Amino acid sequence: DRSFPYTRSPPDKLLGGLLPDGLDERSCRSRYESSMYRRNPGRRPSPHLITKLRKHEELQRRCGPNTDAYNRAIQQLRSGKSVGSPECKYVVSISYRGLGNRILAAASAFLYAVLTDRVLLVDPSNEMDGLFCEPFPGTTWLLPRDFPLASYTNFSIDTAESYGNMLKNKVLSADVPVAPPTAELPAFAYLHLDHDYAHEDKMFFCDDDQRLLSNVQWLVMRTDLYTVPGLFLVTAFQEELDALFPERDAVFHHLARYLFHPTNHVWGLVTRYYRAYLARAELRVGIQVRNFNPRHAQSPHVLRQITNCVWREKLLPEVLATEEHAVPTPGAKFTAVLITSLRPWYYERIKGMYWDHATATGEDVSVHQPSHEGQQQFGKKWHDGRAWAEMYLLSLCDVLVTSGWSTFGYVAQGFGAVRPWVLHKQPENLTSAPDPPCFRDVSMEPCFHAPHVYDCKRKRGLDTGEVLPHVRHCQDVSWGLKLV
């Protein structure tokens, strides 16, 4: 029944003006139905963000694929030469690695595009075309298959046209007081912002380099990181970022809800599961178990860590020892637990625990896990669709327990506007449950795992987690940066 909302307040289908109105509802049901499933309506976008998004949509339509402007820009790229004040500039985001990484990368590229008035085009490989609806009305954000830089998806740290290598090889320099004539600039630069990037690549996060890059018509960006906290460190972007996001802990929240709408197939997975297993519960607790170390795929110590976390933090009721029976209290709360994991082991243990034993409070606890795919797989549509549906289902939970370091969990917490409890990453040799088992995160923002540790002005090392009050080190990845 489409009119039945699972929310507390009337659904707000445009999410406070974040979403553009008038897009076809049937071809992408999730876009306007999502608010019907969210108990927590999330944060409100600032008026400036709303205005900026509508303007950016106009830019995407004017300069996107199948326009004269796009065709001219492609000619320019083919010629290899830069052009003075081009009518449209572009950033192409390469999609690779896990789905969480791909989502964080596209969100980061989008914010960069918005800040620099560039059109965002997303590499359609790795199912980016099949998992998400088009975010911009009247155009496509997918890079056309006939894009002339044929080998762009193989660009790496060694690519000669990378910004870092062009600096290293003195093809470019951001140090000159006057910008070089545009004719001397290349038609495109590859931005290698990957976890393995070099010092020169990281100069991307400096003001002088941004000034130089602003004259390059085509940028191709590869990242598997949430680079947004790094953009907050670029002085030239700060005023605009402050206006767009007065609540700095909700940047990914807004970007994600604006950009990523599950396609109808994935939305079916989300909504059928939600209605069947989660909607009727009074409390939904999501537990995301990501075992980076295969040795921890079935570890009693990790199981202890999880139960210690949820019991100590009173997220779930404890179970009574042996054969005791709590008298069922009329009206006792009914809690549903959603576990996501590649393996079924933790789910089976936790479900068994709540079946074998009564809860101390008389509450009923049901435990569910949508899938157990065994291992991470690449380039498989069904696998990615399930991962996407599970991230989304986690985001519909009222309480979240996530695994530190995991971008999968970051996406869920950002969508849901939930500040999670985070399970500490387990050390290699685990002989007991990590203690403390988890911590409450300071914000719902994802962590930027590999930031620049450099003072661009003084040209020396700098702890970038100590520069701005709202850009701090992460608790899960201690050298990482996050917005708070």
Smaller CB distance to ligand GDP: residue 88 or 342? 342
Residues 414 and 394: beta-carbon distance below 8 Å: no
Smaller CB distance to ligand GDP: residue 419 or 425? 425
The minimum distance between CB 340 and ligand GDP, in angstroms, equals 4
Choosing from 76, 407, 443, 464, the residue that interacts with ligand GDP (CB under 6 A) is 407
Query: Should residue 402 be labelled a site residue for ligand GDP when binding is judged by CB under 6 A?
Result: no
Query: Should residue 226 be labelled a site residue for ligand GDP when binding is judged by CB under 6 A?
Result: no
Distance between CA 389 and CA 481 in Å, rounded? 27
Question: What mask, x for binding ligand GDP by CB under 6 A, covers residues 341 to 380?
Answer: xx----------------------------x-x--x----
Choosing from 387, 396, 456, 474, the residue that interacts with ligand GDP (CB under 6 A) is 387
Query: Should residue 140 be labelled a site residue for ligand GDP when binding is judged by CB under 6 A?
Result: no
Query: Should residue 165 be labelled a site residue for ligand GDP when binding is judged by CB under 6 A?
Result: no
Query: Should residue 472 be labelled a site residue for ligand GDP when binding is judged by CB under 6 A?
Result: no
Query: Should residue 98 be labelled a site residue for ligand GDP when binding is judged by CB under 6 A?
Result: yes
Smaller CB distance to ligand GDP: residue 29 or 97? 97
Token reading at 474? 């992460």
Smaller CB distance to ligand GDP: residue 393 or 417? 393
Distance between CA 449 and CA 424 in Å, rounded? 15
Q: Which stretch binds ligand GDP (CB under 6 A): 96-104, 271-279, 316-324, 462-470?
A: 96-104
Smaller CB distance to ligand GDP: residue 202 or 383? 383
Q: Which of residues 251-290 bind ligand GDP (CB under 6 A)?
A: 290
- Rg of the Cα trace of the chain? 23
Q: Which stretch binds ligand GDP (CB under 6 A): 83-91, 115-123, 344-352, 382-390?
A: 382-390
Query: Should residue 406 be labelled a site residue for ligand GDP when binding is judged by CB under 6 A?
Result: yes
Choosing from 351, 386, 424, 452, the residue that interacts with ligand GDP (CB under 6 A) is 386
Smaller CB distance to ligand GDP: residue 210 or 406? 406
Smaller CB distance to ligand GDP: residue 147 or 408? 408
Choosing from 100, 451, 465, 480, the residue that interacts with ligand GDP (CB under 6 A) is 100
Q: Which of residues 317-346 bind ligand GDP (CB under 6 A)?
A: 340-342
User: Whose CA is closest to 207, among 91, 105, 89, 115?
Assistant: 115
Size of the site for ligand GDP (CB under 6 A): 19
Query: Should residue 101 be labelled a site residue for ligand GDP when binding is judged by CB under 6 A?
Result: yes
Choosing from 249, 363, 390, 441, the residue that interacts with ligand GDP (CB under 6 A) is 390
Q: Which stretch binds ligand GDP (CB under 6 A): 50-58, 266-274, 317-325, 384-392?
A: 384-392
Which residues of this chain interact with ligand GDP, rule CB under 6 A?
97-101, 290, 340-342, 371, 373, 376, 383, 386-387, 390, 406-408
